[in-house]
A and B are shown apart, each in its own frame.
Chain A
Amino acid sequence: MLLAVGFIALTSCERDDICPEGSMTTPSARLEFYSIENGREETIDASSLKFYGMAAGDTLFSSSPSSNHISLPLDFEHKESVFLVEKIKEVKDPSTGTVIDVINLTDTLTLKYEPVLTFISKACGYCFTYKNITMSCTTGHSITGYEVLIEGEPSYGELLSSRQVVAKIYIDATE
């Protein structure tokens, strides 16, 4: 009987845990877009903006917001990710309404952080999380202003989930 118990115990060792769906993954930085109209803050569709992931001056990838937010992947091999935020502005002839010029307006958004290799579970393995996140951004071109939310309560600079909002980005609604 004891032998049988032993063999059950042994064969049960071969069973593997399964990583459940919805387990933790490496988070992206979520930015939400707002405009200020008549002194009131409103969400705005920012799909006309384009974000370029930059490494050593080269563009690696581009990504556009889906309506009023964007989730930016972060570079976990380095301590910062730099994005160019581009807005294409069409200059129209006031009298005819035809496009006479196209201007590229760009601002630079920089996220600084410490990547932390985080153990999820035996079956799921690992992901990266980020701590001490700070964000800085140039303004005046594609972006009118920003407010960093992740540095304060309740995150204190720690990014664990893609649902956390890193910052509010204010853009000009008047086109």
Chain B
Amino acid sequence: MKKKGIKSITIALRFIALAVMIMSSSVIVAQDKKNDSSFDLKSRKKEVADSIRIVERGMKMERDSTNKVHVVKRDSLIEIKHGMRIGVDLFTPLLPILGDNDDKAWQVKTDFRLTPKLYAAFDIGYQERTKDFTMQWSTSKGMFFKAGVNYALLRGIFDSDDMMYVGLKLGYSSYDRHVWGDTLRSTQWGNEHIVDINDSPSALWGDLSIGVMVQVARNVYLSMDAAYDMILSSSKPNGIGPMIVPGVGQVYSNTTGFSFSYAVSYRIPLYTKTHRMKIKEHIKENQETIDSKKKKEVFRPAFQSTELIEE
């Protein structure tokens, strides 16, 4: 009876977790849309996030025949607030609830802005995971570390800390492993051997990730990150290669893994530094309005009616 209660609670928790994830991802989408629709230089300057301040130096605008600005080139000095973001991964601790098992995991993600586009990133975490490998079971538990860089892509980089990024990190974990369950039998000799191995392997891997990070409140960020992990080197005690590595998860064909994180971060502002940047911004205009403007031009009289009267 009690067990049943616990089960229904975990199912409810799963639904809540899913709902939270879907809701927060829609927040990100909404945020993206908001950024898309508004481009107006004057209002933009006011809207600039608290993390940077643009100090204009030179501005060159490319105009077309309608005198409309299409491209703005700026050679600017940008004041950027450098800070350290500390985040907690919400996804990893959620996995055991989603998968209904006794695994445990947490992860803390940090990054630090080096240049306007480049961030140093450091993650630390713990993972305990048990998996059925058909012939045997394996449990891995241990701490893991990841260190590397995140490089911001596309727009949004200068206006705020919102970013889409690619990350390249190096991960390391030295963990405790328990492998058990396989039974070897010899019917002729009438004996059997149950495999039960405890060892402490370690693994070094490269982590190639892609992610988005969006500011949801002052100094509060949400981020999603999907990573492809490649085991670079791994110790093989008892001849057994990496099965589950903390920070990577299950390892396929001894080399590949996929990890995913969904984190909420808080930024601690540290100092402000001025960076010199070249910025080129394209102003997109609705094609329809351009067409209608052109039509108007075509049918505009070559001279005003008043001028005619005067002649």
Contacts and interface: CB of A to CB of B under 8 A. Distances in A.
A100 interface: no
A77 B189 contact: yes
Contact of B135 (A75, A117, A123): A123
Contact of A119 (B134, B191, B238, B262): B238
A81 to B, nearest CB: 8
Interface residues of B, number: 34
B215 interface: no
Contacts of B258: 9, 12-13
Contact of B193 (A12, A55, A63, A77): A77
A126 B184 contact: yes
Given A6-B260, A9-B226, A117 B186 contact: no
Contacts of A125: 135-136, 182, 195
A10 B260 contact: yes
The B contact surface, by secondary structure, is: strand
A124 interface: yes
B299 interface: no
Contacts of B262: 6
B305 interface: no
A91 interface: no
B250 interface: yes
A62 B172 CA distance: 53
Given A19-B134, A119-B238, A119-B239, A2 B186 contact: no
B162 to A, nearest CB: 15
A2 B226 contact: yes
Given A6-B226, A124-B135, A125-B182, A117 B188 contact: no
B301 interface: no
A126 B195 contact: yes
A53 B226 contact: no
Contacts of A6: 91, 224, 226, 260, 262
A164 interface: no
14 contacts: A2-B225, A6-B262, A12-B258, A26-B184, A53-B188, A60-B188, A60-B190, A63-B188, A77-B193, A117-B193, A125-B182, A126-B184, A126-B195, A128-B193
Sorted nearest first, the 3 A-B pairs with minimum C-beta distance are A125-B135, A9-B258, A125-B182
Interface of B: 21, 25, 91, 95, 132-136, 182, 184, 186, 188-191, 193, 195, 210-212, 224-226, 238-240, 243, 249-250, 258-260, 262
